[in-house]
Structure 1
Amino acid sequence: MTCLNKLQFALDKQAPNILSITTLHGDIQLSASMRQALQVALNKIINTEITQQKQQLKE
């Protein structure tokens, strides 16, 4: 779980600086609102993983 917390911290710092993403169809330039949406989405994914790991530890 420590790794996920570190990943979340790193993504919080780096996500605002991501200017583009690469897909099979080429690079997509990200607007400020798209970078913010990406950051929120990544945080939700990591928070879900952290929650699932905590539940597994309780079992």
Structure 2
Amino acid sequence: MTEPQVTSPIDPREMTRFVTDSGEIHVIHEMTLGDLVIMLALAAILLFLVIDRVVRR
């Protein structure tokens, strides 16, 4: 039985395949909207902290 393949051109996922003696391991790399929001929030906090330190001098 074959598994369905994702063929959507807008699908943001990438897949890495590792072939082992007992079969294939599929690792899907994807970034969700939540990941993006958290990274932007952390970057903004760090930027504001640096600006705050520079302005206080």
**Higher normalized strand content (fraction of residues):** 2
Greater RCO, 1 or 2 (C-alpha within 8 Å, sep 6+): 1
**Higher normalized helix content (fraction of residues):** 1
TM-score relative to the length of structure 1: 0.43
